[in-house]
């Protein structure tokens, strides 16, 4: 395949759009703190790596400018969709941390995040950073590159079609975000809820005790202890989620 033909140039451009769109919305590289030119360079490097995988038979036929722009729009949406699907588990983990933080009494103790350009929960930020570190340690970035390579076989360049099964798949994956949040944060939330119930019982039986002064450090201590105890399970959960990203992306591609 040569880039010096019109078909080759169009195919390379479509692949570049798919890769750049993926890096804009995908995990890790979607951080606002990463400059745009870095994302473009990463997308170009990914394009050069994946270019040999593009079958000659799948090169788009040279057509009009309007047809090419429609194909560019389809590749842009496809790349962003794949990136968001890969980033959903991390959003669920951050949501779990935010829920745990609220139960611990950290609801108004947020920090400014330059990446999100807003305030985020301390526990949610901790879970998010830990998940990204585990993602890199477990070679999750290699998994994403492999999934992008598989996308070329499942959805040829310029062949992105959006149907009802794809919409159902997107809704299901969006719902899994809340499942991840409850699965990760549920045990700690239950423990802290029982602590609230116990302190309410103590407040009724010993009205002389200022339960508000005693309750805050108790809940914070229980929360931190619970986070430390559940970290091994958190690592296993993140590993399971990372191993399932490729499967989810392939299911998403199969709906096209």
Q: Which residues of 129-155 are buried (b: 16+ CB within 10 A; e: fewer)?
A: ebbbebbeeeebeebbeebbeebbeeb
Cβ atoms of 106 and 82 within 8 Å: the answer is no
Q: What is the DSSP letter of 53?
A: G
Q: Which residues contact 91 (CB under 8 A, 6 or more apart)?
A: 177
Looking at residue 107, what is its pLDDT? 67
CA-based max dimension of the chain? 85
In the chain, where are the structural domains located? Answer: 6-254
Cβ atoms of 112 and 119 within 8 Å: the answer is yes
Residue pLDDT tens, the chain, 256 long: 455 566 777 778 888 888 888 888 878 777 776 777 888 888 888 888 888 877 665 555 556 777 778 888 888 888 888 888 888 888 888 888 888 888 887 766 665 555 555 566 788 888 888 888 888 888 888 888 888 888 888 877 777 777 767 777 777 777 788 888 888 888 888 888 888 888 878 777 777 777 777 777 888 888 888 888 888 888 888 888 888 887 778 777 776 6
Q: What is the DSSP string of 217-239?
A: HHHHHHHHHHHHHHHHHHHHHHH
Looking at residue 250, what is its pLDDT? 77
């Amino acid at each position: 395949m040569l880039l010096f033909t019109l078909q080759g140039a169009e195919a390379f451009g479509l692949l570049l759009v798919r890769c750049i769109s993926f890096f804009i919305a995908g995990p890790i590289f979607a951080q606002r703190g990463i400059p745009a030119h870095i994302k473009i360079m990463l997308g170009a490097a990914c394009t050069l790596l994946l270019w040999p995988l593009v079958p000659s038979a799948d090169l788009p036929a040279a057509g009009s400018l309007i047809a090419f722009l429609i194909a560019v729009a389809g590749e842009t949406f496809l790349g962003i969709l794949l990136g968001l699907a890969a980033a959903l588990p991390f959003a669920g983990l951050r949501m779990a941390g935010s829920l745990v933080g609220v139960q611990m009494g950290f609801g108004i103790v947020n920090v400014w995040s330059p990446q999100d350009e807003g305030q985020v929960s301390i526990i949610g930020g901790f879970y998010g950073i830990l998940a990204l570190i585990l993602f890199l340690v477990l070679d999750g970035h290699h998994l994403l590159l492999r999934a992008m390579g598989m996308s070329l076989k499942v959805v040829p360049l310029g062949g992105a079609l959006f149907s009802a099964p794809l919409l159902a798949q997107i809704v299901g994956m969006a719902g899994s975000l809340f499942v991840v949040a409850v699965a990760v944060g549920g045990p700690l939330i239950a423990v802290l809820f029982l602590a609230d119930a116990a302190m309410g019982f103590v407040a009724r039986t010993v009205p002389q005790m200022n339960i508000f002064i005693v309750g805050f450090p108790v809940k914070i201590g229980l929360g931190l202890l619970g986070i430390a105890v559940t970290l091994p399970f958190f690592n296993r959960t993140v590993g399971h989620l990372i191993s399932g990203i490729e499967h989810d992306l392939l299911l998403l591609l199969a709906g096209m």
